[in-house]
Structure 1
Amino acid sequence: MMFYNVENLFPPDPPSLHKFDPTPSGLRGWNNYRYNNKLFKIAYVFDWVAEAYGVHPMIIGLSEISSSKVLDDLTQIEILENRYDYIHFNSLDERGVDTALLFDRSKVEVLHAEPITFLFEIDDNVDEYIDTTRDVLWVKTKINSKIINYFVLHLPSKRKHDVNKAKRDYILNSIKNKADELVSEKEAVILCGDFNENPNDESLLKMEKTDEGNDLFINPFKELFHRKQFSTFHFHDGLLFDQFLVSKNFTDSDFQLQFQEAHVFNHQKLSSWDRKFQGRPFRTYAGTRYLGGYSDHYPVITEFRKK
């Protein structure tokens, strides 16, 4: 299973009347050539993952998806062999980017899907609300006769001195409570996404236990972060915001899917050619400058063994 923040995947912008007109994507010069180049690059990432692990990802969580159109175009690329269907809902995010889930239709049965929206009050004295977050995508699936719930997240960023921390904490606590209910009903749960938190941050450490102190989630990315495995960078800081958390079911001896390992897929082909940025993702844009790369994040992978 795989998660990938694909960095602003928008359809091509229509021609502007003036070079300073704002564009739907917010990107400079985002045309058909650059769009198709990015789609093919992302498709090849999926294929390189299959080469590395001997099998195509069964589930792929995505973030920074602007619309169903880009998923239609992506899943129809020939190299993917019409393997994937997708689930996507438009959210109220201020930048117009959402989460989505690709799934291998030959292996995964979707039972239910819905977006979970979070509204935050502007002011206690004003009866108005604002939502500047991406929805959390919830998909209930059946795999090998077992029910597995996926939550795909892209939590609010740490910009402006981390003004969004309270929102991230609230969303995570809400999802934890929902996951606790599902696990108590003998259903497995996987969280994947860009958490905008490192694995050792307090809010993610709290996800490992229920409010009653019972085991709930395992975060295998803690060990990767300790070993300085990073999925993205901010100036000089390596970050591991992209993670999977798996419910305790996946370590139970009688469960049909057994968790094995987690990885940051920092393949050389996905990395910057610039020696100054060696070991970092080869991104599509640096500010307004087009670089032509894949994304400013590496994908992350979790491996499971079928009993």
Structure 2
Amino acid sequence: MTLTILRKAKNKFLLTVGYAAALVFISNKINGQKEYEVACVGFYNQENLFDTIVDPDTNKILQEDFTPLGPKSWDSKKYKEKLENMSFAISKMGLESTPDGMAILGVAEIENRLVLEDLVGQKAIKDRDYQIVHYESPDRRGIDVALLYQPKYFKLESSKTFTLTMEGNDHFYTRDQLLVTGELLGERMHFIVCHWPSRRGGEKRSSPKRVAAAELTMQIMDSIRKVEPDAKIIMMGDLNDDPVSKSIKKVMKPKASPQDVAQSDLFNPTADLYKSGNGTLGYNDAWNLFDQMILTGPFIDLEKSYDDFGYYGFKIFNEAFLIQQEGQYKGYPHRTYSYGQYIAGYSDHFPVYVTLLRAKK
């Protein structure tokens, strides 16, 4: 299979689908070329994207670390370098499919709207004119989720957040789940950005929190699908669980193969990747695939007609510049700090994204 770039056009990137090694992409009846609109939708955990100032109105425990006098000696120079690094990584995502990169990008571990404004204003991505959807979360660490979008691709209709609570635990605070609805090149879609509770205290002990988070995500999805049975929803985030974990496998119950996905089902393109040993973050000489994107059934087009936007592929963006090249953690994501030592990296997570195709009309 080959995808050949024809030309760049406003709001779209036109591709031709050809043949290679006897592989047929659309159907064995098609001869010649077909043009497509392409949109990439991704997620990227920013690993503690904090400015250098403590917000007096939030009183969050992690903010003290990210100040010039804090234990990380976090100053303007490091903050600027972090912004440059993260924006550079974002600028490179999806370029094999579209020169505009991520039409939509969910992000996590960001302190506030200000750091997002600084991020989208960086030279590497400034010309994409990313707009911001952000709400403050009650999280104890002072971190939120948000969604960035290019207005030439996406028209925002509405947004809201959902707070996760744990019965019997009045002192539980975590990131809200963000729902954003709008039109992607004229087609109605919904995006849910999540950062489920961490594994602090151990995977088994903390699992009920992520199960509750998955139940909340399903409630959001079900409320949408009750009104729109054929709704196209992409849930994305750092789930702090793998595709085989209870929160996903038992609560959300997504299918791993497109061939098994009915309209009412969910599809998790990361499931088979995880079984093959791929991951988005490393820990104790093993890979986890916490950064996932789960799609509703209407994205699956087994006939490959792509009359409307359909799922084409999923990618873990683990290019060489995002990988630690030496030392004890060689091969892992090249992060900002390692055991308290500033190493001027990117994030401890690799970003991920899906590519959507639609036949040019």
Does TM, scored on the shorter chain, surpass 0.5? yes
> After the TM superposition, which of the residue ranges 271-280 and 67-76 deviates more from structure 2?
271-280
Q: Is the 8 A contact 2:306 2:357 kept in 1?
A: no
Query: What does residue 151 of structure 1 align with?
Result: 192
Matched, 1:68 2:68: no
Distance 1:106 1:11 in 2: 29
Query: What does residue 300 of structure 1 align with?
Result: 352
Aligned CA distance change for structure 1 residues 288 and 278 (closer, same or farther; 3 Å): closer
Say which SS state the counterpart of residue 62 (structure 1) adopts.
Answer: strand
Distance 1:208 1:46 in 2: 30
Q: Is the 8 A contact 2:231 2:296 kept in 1?
A: no
Distance 2:217 2:263 in 1: 16
Stretches of structure 2 lacking an aligned partner (at least 5 in a row): 1-40, 55-62, 256-261
Q: State how 1:194-209 maps to structure 2 within 5 Å.
A: 194-206=238-250, 207-208=252-253
**TM-score, with normalisation over the residues of structure 1?**
0.89
Aligned CA distance change for structure 1 residues 133 and 260 (closer, same or farther; 3 Å): same
Query: What does residue 227 of structure 1 align with?
Result: 276
Distance 1:237 1:50 in 2: 26
Aligned CA distance change for structure 1 residues 254 and 177 (closer, same or farther; 3 Å): farther
- After TM superposition, give the deviation of residue 122 of structure 1 in Å: 4.0
> After the TM superposition, which of the residue ranges 89-98 and 114-123 deviates more from structure 2?
114-123
Distance 2:223 2:265 in 1: 11
Distance 1:54 1:103 in 2: 15
Distance 1:76 1:67 in 2: 15
Deviations 1:43-102 (A, max 9, x none): 111122143433311110100010000001011112211420011111110000010100
Matched, 1:176 2:250: no
Query: What does residue 272 of structure 1 align with?
Result: 324
Query: What does residue 52 of structure 2 align with?
Result: 12
Query: What does residue 43 of structure 1 align with?
Result: 87
- After TM superposition, give the deviation of residue 145 of structure 1 in Å: 2.8
- Aligned match for 2:291, one of 208, 226, 242: 242
Distance 2:121 2:176 in 1: 25
Distance 1:214 1:164 in 2: 32
Aligned CA distance change for structure 1 residues 97 and 257 (closer, same or farther; 3 Å): same
Distance 1:196 1:27 in 2: 26
Q: State how 1:119-130 maps to structure 2 within 5 Å.
A: 119-122=165-168, 129-130=170-171
Query: What does residue 129 of structure 2 align with?
Result: 83
Distance 1:230 1:157 in 2: 17
Q: Is the 8 A contact 2:199 2:206 kept in 1?
A: yes
Identity of aligned residues (%): 27
Distance 1:305 1:273 in 2: 34
- Name the amino acid aligned to 1:64: E
Stretches of structure 1 lacking an aligned partner (at least 5 in a row): 15-21, 124-128
Aligned CA distance change for structure 1 residues 274 and 180 (closer, same or farther; 3 Å): same
Distance 2:171 2:168 in 1: 6
Say which SS state the counterpart of residue 220 (structure 2) adopts.
Answer: helix
Distance 1:202 1:255 in 2: 35
Deviations 1:86-140 (A, max 9, x none): 11111110000010100011110111111111222445xxxxx223211001111
**TM-score, with normalisation over the residues of structure 2?**
0.76
Higher helix share: 1
Q: Is the 8 A contact 2:243 2:274 kept in 1?
A: yes
Distance 1:173 1:183 in 2: 15
Q: Is the 8 A contact 2:334 2:346 kept in 1?
A: yes
Distance 1:27 1:86 in 2: 30
Query: What does residue 9 of structure 2 align with?
Result: none
- Name the amino acid aligned to 1:222: A
Query: What does residue 138 of structure 1 align with?
Result: 179
- Name the amino acid aligned to 1:280: Y
Q: Is the 8 A contact 1:229 1:240 kept in 2?
A: yes
How many residues align? The count is: 293
Query: What does residue 28 of structure 1 align with?
Result: 72
Q: What is the root-mean-square deviation in Å for CA atoms of aligned residues?
A: 2.1
